[in-house]
């Protein structure tokens, strides 16, 4: 499968999943934690007029938490269905929100100009197909997306090496077992959700089954696995400079912060 086809596949999975995304994620404190990270980076590395881009803004919940604090925030996402929630959020009125897949970042940046801080949080960049598409996205952000001294931040899952399987896995997530998650309420309907996690040597696959009024739909999201040290090596190889992690940042997941020198 080609790179673009696979990128499309993962952004497209969110088209269906978008209906349940906020219900599944909101109660985990994940949006607040991400907003704290962005706030800290914006204050630490940039001036007051910092231009900020959420390059995987999804439903826009993180941007909404920042909307009153920064003059220039923008979002993009490859799933029009995820973006629909951002576009209908009153807190984001006037905030530029664009439907764009990462393979089109160069043309996006040529229209919008450069940013001082670009982030992809919520384990988003792992949706890319493989190492070369990961490097292309970062290269595009470095060359065309960031202003001089601009900062990139992205997070990853806390993958660990499994000696027996001979590949990375996510600790504490049962493999091949259908696990029932907390039920969620959407449009006043109670919805049961299960997930089943499997792997191939490069990717994790999480199949969600969503059961609503006795009808079940399935949707699989997949993630490229890479350990943090390997990801750091690649970003420095393509020309990013390292940045010391501000001690006030308390990420829930490993986070990589790098600067365009």
Ligand X SMILES: C[S@@+](CC[C@H](N)C(=O)[O-])C[C@H]1O[C@@H](n2cnc3c(N)ncnc32)[C@H](O)[C@@H]1O
- Residues 78 and 103: their CA atoms lie apart, in Å, by 10
Q: E strand or H helix at 160, and its extent?
A: strand 160-162
Give the residue with the Cβ less far from ligand X, 162 or 251: 251
Q: E strand or H helix at 15, and its extent?
A: helix 3-25
Give the residue with the Cβ less far from ligand X, 104 or 194: 104
Give the residue with the Cβ less far from ligand X, 126 or 258: 126
Least distance (Å) between residue 61 CB and ligand X: 6
The residues, ordered by sequence, that sit 6+ positions from 90 with a Cβ below 8 Å of its Cβ are none
* Residue 115: strand, helix, or coil: strand
Least distance (Å) between residue 164 CB and ligand X: 28
Nearest C-alpha neighbor of 12 from the set 224, 225, 222, 226: 222
Residue numbers at the binding site for ligand X (CB under 6 A): 7, 10-11, 14, 25, 34, 56-58, 61, 77-79, 82, 101-102, 121-124, 127
Minimal CB distance residue for ligand X:
122
Least distance (Å) between residue 247 CB and ligand X: 23
Q: Calculate the CA 255 to chain-centre distance.
A: 11
Contact (Cβ atoms closer than 8 angstroms) between residue 132 and residue 3: yes
How many C-beta atoms surround the C-beta of residue 188 within 10 A? Answer: 5
Both tokens assigned to 68 = 């009153």
Nearest C-alpha neighbor of 99 from the set 160, 147, 57, 149: 57
Give the residue with the Cβ less far from ligand X, 144 or 162: 144
Give the residue with the Cβ less far from ligand X, 34 or 140: 34
Give the residue with the Cβ less far from ligand X, 87 or 162: 87
């Amino acid at each position: 499968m080609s790179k673009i086809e696979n990128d499309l596949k993962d952004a497209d999975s969110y088209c269906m999943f978008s209906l349940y995304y906020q219900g599944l994620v909101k109660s985990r404190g994940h949006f607040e934690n991400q907003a704290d990270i962005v706030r800290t980076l914006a204050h630490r590395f940039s001036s007051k007029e910092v231009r900020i881009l959420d390059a995987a803004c999804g439903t826009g919940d993180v941007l909404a938490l920042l909307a009153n604090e920064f003059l220039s925030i923008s979002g993009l996402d490859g799933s029009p269905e995820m973006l629909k929630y951002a576009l209908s959020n009153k807190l984001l009125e006037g905030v530029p929100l664009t439907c764009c897949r990462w393979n089109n970042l160069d043309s996006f940046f040529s229209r919008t100009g450069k940013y001082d801080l670009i982030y992809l949080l919520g384990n988003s960049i792992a949706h890319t197909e493989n190492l070369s598409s990961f490097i292309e996205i970062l290269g595009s952000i470095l060359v065309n997306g960031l202003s001089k001294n601009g900062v990139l931040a992205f997070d990853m899952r806390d993958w660990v090496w499994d000696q027996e399987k001979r590949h990375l896995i996510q600790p504490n997530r049962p493999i091949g077992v259908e696990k029932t998650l907390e039920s969620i309420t959407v449009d006043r309907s109670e919805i049961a959700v299960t997930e089943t996690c499997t792997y191939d040597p490069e990717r994790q696959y999480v199949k969600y089954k969503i059961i609503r009024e006795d009808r079940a739909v399935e949707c699989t999201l997949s993630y490229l696995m890479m350990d943090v040290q390997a990801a750091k090596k690649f970003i420095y190889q393509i020309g990013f400079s390292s940045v010391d992690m501000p001690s006030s940042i308390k990420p829930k997941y490993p986070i990589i912060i790098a600067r365009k020198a």
